[in-house]
Structures are given as C-alpha cells and as structure tokens.
Amino acid sequence: MRQLVVVPTSLRLLVGAIVTLALGLAIGIGVNSVLASSPPTTVSACVSKMSGFVRIVSSDRYCMRTERFMTWQSGADLSGVEARLTALEGLVTTQQATIASQQATIDDLTAQVPACLSTANDGTALFSGCNVQIINGQGSTATVNGKGNLIVGYNEDNGDTRTGSHNVVVGSSHTYSSYGGLVAGYDNIISGDYASVSGG
C-alpha cells in the first residue's frame, strides 16, 4: 500500500522563513557592498504564511491576511540574521529526520496489518480468511498471568479474582482464576481448568 506523506505546516513555515531570511541576507550583502558608507536602508516584503513566497513591497503597502509583513535593515549588522538562518536550518533538518522516522513507523505498521482485516463504515472490524489468536505470551495454554482472555462487555469489577488466562468472558462481575474456560452471564466463577459456566 502506498503511503502519502503530508508535510507539516510547521515545516512549510520554517522553509518559508529560511527563504525569507536568505533573501534578506542576500539583499543586505548586495546593498552593503554598494552603499558601504550610506545609512541603513529598510527593505519591506510580504511573506506567504503557507508557501513562504516573498513579495518585495514598499513600506506603506499592506500585506494580505495570508501573508506576514517583514522588514530588513540592508545596511545594518546581519550577524543576527545569519544566526537565525542557521538555527532555522537546524530546525528543518530536525523536522526532516522526524518525518523520515514517522514514515518508517507507518511503513512498519502497514506491513503488520493483515490483508484479511477490514473495517466497515459502521465501525465493525471484519476478519475474513484468517484466524484470530489471543495468547498470554507465556508459551503455553496451561499458564496464567491474567492476560490472553477474550472479554465481551465491560465485565464490571466487584473485587473479583481475575488471574486466569485464555478464557472467554461474557457479561459482568465474573471470577476466573484458571485457563481455557468459558464464563458468561452475571457474577459467575470458573476456577478449574477448562471449566465452563453460564447463567444470569
């Protein structure tokens, strides 16, 4: 199954900010080389919040709601801009690593989901053409650790003992301390191996 990776808005904004700062840095360097002895010149721009696209505008122009107004002092000290640019580049690198890690996790989970599992619009999980096995992880049916049970319903707890494994439990307030059994109804007890009890 092919996976579509959606680039987070935060990453788009970081890239846009880097482009903006780089443009400001380039403008500043270019103007400084020509106007080394001139007073600082303010450069104004509208930067898209979504794409990072930059429009150079006059200082009295208004940006659209989807844009952010930014200015640079072309003749000023650019060391602060350079530091911010370096920091943003580091954040982009971190974001890219995070996205790659998340994609690897998605691919791994996709590979583990069986082809026989599907979900209906009403929320029903359908297993077709495969088996569903529930185990307690201890390597044998005749072991107990309170895990590996199939519980249908809330099985409300009234202080009951529930240390058994590999049981089918249906209803409420049941006690099960062994393995391989079935208990259904209300407030019933199975304590023997492979026991079966049902009733209201």
> What pLDDT, in 10s, does the model give residues 87-127?
888 889 999 999 999 999 999 888 887 788 888 888 898 88
- Own/partner contacts of 26-33, CB < 8 Å, gap of 24 or more, are 27/72, 27/74, 28/72, 28/73, 28/74, 28/75, 28/76, 28/78, 28/81, 29/78, 31/74, 31/75, 32/74, 32/75, 32/78
List the single range of 20-34, 58-72, 178-192 with lowest mean pLDDT. Answer: 20-34
- Would you say residue 172 has pLDDT above 90? yes
- Would you say residue 4 has pLDDT above 70? no
Q: What's the pLDDT band for 51 if we cut at 50, 70, 90?
A: confident
Q: Using CA atoms, how far apart are residues 79 and 173, in angstroms rounded to an integer? A: 70
Q: What average pLDDT score do residues 43-69 get?
A: 86
